[in-house]
């Protein structure tokens, strides 16, 4: 038995460890979906995969609780596939290497998948334990939440009958979330005709940025962490746009909702400019370290490595337009909520850039709790990248989850938490995207709340789950189910 399976509550940790051994990056959830259906049926629950790829499991009430309203436990099965630069892990085939580090569980060189494997594991533990008192339960485990909430968007009305929904996808124990921001993907693309290059009097370098903290582009965007794509844009603006170098390729970021930790570009440098180029790169490195010395504490690295010269490069006008657009595009917090000055209202994440082989693609994720501000931000990004000659589309848009301050579920949960732990939970909204608002479109009468154990650095290889918080989270969930109102 792995030591993680022996942690308390054992049912949750045993099931979580089992999930870490099943590859489940966004876009590749077939194996974990089949695993969940098989698990549910072995434990006496009805289970099936709906047309959207979601797993739905249903279990009847325990004795004495047949008259209770139905409660829905909701989480998502996919995880963000992030790893360190030199890690060889294949998220589509390899199990995660998870281990205990003091009071935390983490994974070696990859994301842990506690977002939202912990929510899934808690629901599994409840389904398999016949001694837990509860009314009728429905479990909804959605597909591809991290890449656009596809499962939630395509969940059909009538699949669920529950009146109360517990979303198990928040990251701070002791907090209950009742609202969240909406989002929109800004997808920019273009094709260009590569030019032939004569590298005889050129030196070729790979410029690499790594070691940044990155993080969740919703819940950690306010921390002011460096965006590797933005830093690279500054380097290229100072070198390529001044004719000191020529751009051949540029790659950074791989998830729309993760702040980019790493980025690399290949450039050609005239031999006559080599000394000045290397000095400028060193100056950029010193500048960035100074700017982020109190934030980027993970060991920021900026390296320049000689590499074989390619035979093709990006045309001058194209490279300048893309670099200029990347410099001009907004990244980070745009506005805080006027009525709640500590809560981010509107932000963007300059998430992904790929420029190579005659194609350029840039993806930004815009978030806002105000639809008008989300549109304002998106239109600004559209204008910026359109001027660079790129085709821009807005995709996967969804409105925020509007808080219900009169929620009977939240009032009951707050009273239960205070009785159990001696203090009131923090109730509020968050800047991350949650599925509640999307699910609520087809289930407008469902009372919802989100909560979870404590996680740090989700969407990064530093992701970790706080062991003591899981026991509190699970005990809280059991007490909520025990107190679901009668019909």
Nearest to 109 by CA among 91, 89, 79, 90: 89
Crossing angle, helix 371-386 and helix 316-328, to 10 degrees?
160
Query: Which residues lie closer than 8 Å to 276 by C-beta, 6 or more apart?
Result: 244
Find the catalytic residue in 115, 138, 145, 264: 145
Nearest to 24 by CA among 15, 13, 16, 33: 33
- Is the Cβ–Cβ distance between 134 and 45 less than 8 Å? no
Tokens (6 digits) for 474: 């699970």
CA 262 – CA 232 distance, rounded (Å): 9
78 is known as an active-site residue: yes
Q: In what order do the strands lie in the sheet with 455-456?
A: 98-101, 104-107, 464-466, 455-456
145 is known as an active-site residue: yes
In angstroms, what is the C-alpha Rg of the chain? Answer: 24
Q: Where are the beta strands (DSSP E) in 181-232?
A: 182-191, 195-196, 202-210, 215-216
Q: Which residue has the tokens 């098989």?
A: 38
- Is the Cβ–Cβ distance between 125 and 41 less than 8 Å? no
- Start-to-end CA distance of the chain, whole Å, equals 42
Find the catalytic residue in 78, 171, 220, 435: 78
- Per this entry, what is the length of the chain? 487
CA 317 – CA 328 distance, rounded (Å): 16
Helix H or strand E segment including 12: helix 10-20
Q: Which residue has the tokens 């993970």?
A: 298
Report helix, strand or coil for 361: strand
Residues with active-site annotation? 78, 145
């Amino acid at each position: 038995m792995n030591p993680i399976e022996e942690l308390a509550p054992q049912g949750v940790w045993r099931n979580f460890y089992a999930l870490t051994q099943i590859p489940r990056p966004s876009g590749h959830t077939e194996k974990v979906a089949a695993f969940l259906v098989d698990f549910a049926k072995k434990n006496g629950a009805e289970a099936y995969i709906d047309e959207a790829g979601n797993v739905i499991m249903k279990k009847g009430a325990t004795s004495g609780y047949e008259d209770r309203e139905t409660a829905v436990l909701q989480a998502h099965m996919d995880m963000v596939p992030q790893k360190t630069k030199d890690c060889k892990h294949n998220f589509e085939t390899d199990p995660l290497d998870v281990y205990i580090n003091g009071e935390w569980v983490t994974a070696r060189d990859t994301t842990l998948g506690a977002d939202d494997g912990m929510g899934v594991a808690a629901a599994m533990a409840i389904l398999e334990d016949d001694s837990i008192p509860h009314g009728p339960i429905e479990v909804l485990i959605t597909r591809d939440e991290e890449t656009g909430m596809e499962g939630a968007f395509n969940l059909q009305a009538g699949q669920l009958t529950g009146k109360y929904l517990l979303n198990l996808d928040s990251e701070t124990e002791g907090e209950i979330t009742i609202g969240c921001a909406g989002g929109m993907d800004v997808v920019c693309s273009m094709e260009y005709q590569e030019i032939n290059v004569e590298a005889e009097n050129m030196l070729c370098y790979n410029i690499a940025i790594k070691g940044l903290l990155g993080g969740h582009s919703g819940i950690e965007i306010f921390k002011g962490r460096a965006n590797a794509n933005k830093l690279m844009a500054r380097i290229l603006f100072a070198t390529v746009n001044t004719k000191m170098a020529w751009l051949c390729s540029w790659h950074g970021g791989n998830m729309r909702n993760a702040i980019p930790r790493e980025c690399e570009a290949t450039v050609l440098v005239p031999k006559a400019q080599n000394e000045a180029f290397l000095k400028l790169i060193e100056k950029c490195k010193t500048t960035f370290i100074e700017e982020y010395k109190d934030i980027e504490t993970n060991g920021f690295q900026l390296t320049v490595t000689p590499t074989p010269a390619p035979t093709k490069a990006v045309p001058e006008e194209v490279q300048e337009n893309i670099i200029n657009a990347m410099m001009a595009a907004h990244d980070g917090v745009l506005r805080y909520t006027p009525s709640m000055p500590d809560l981010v209202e509107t932000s963007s994440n300059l998430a992904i850039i790929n420029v190579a082989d005659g194609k350029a693609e840039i993806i930004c994720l815009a978030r806002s709790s105000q639809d008008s501000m989300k549109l304002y931000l998106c239109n600004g990004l559209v204008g910026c990248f359109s001027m660079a000659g790129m085709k821009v589309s807005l995709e996967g848009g969804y409105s925020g989850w509007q808080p219900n301050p009169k929620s009977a579920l939240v009032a009951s949960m707050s009273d239960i938490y205070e009785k159990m732990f001696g203090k009131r939970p923090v109730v509020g909204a968050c800047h991350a995207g949650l599925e509640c608002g999307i699910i609520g479109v087809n289930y407008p009468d469902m009372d919802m709340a989100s909560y979870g154990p404590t996680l740090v650095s989700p969407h990064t290889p530093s992701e970790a789950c706080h062991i003591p918080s899981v026991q509190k989270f699970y005990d809280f969930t059991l007490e909520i189910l025990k107190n679901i109102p009668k019909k």
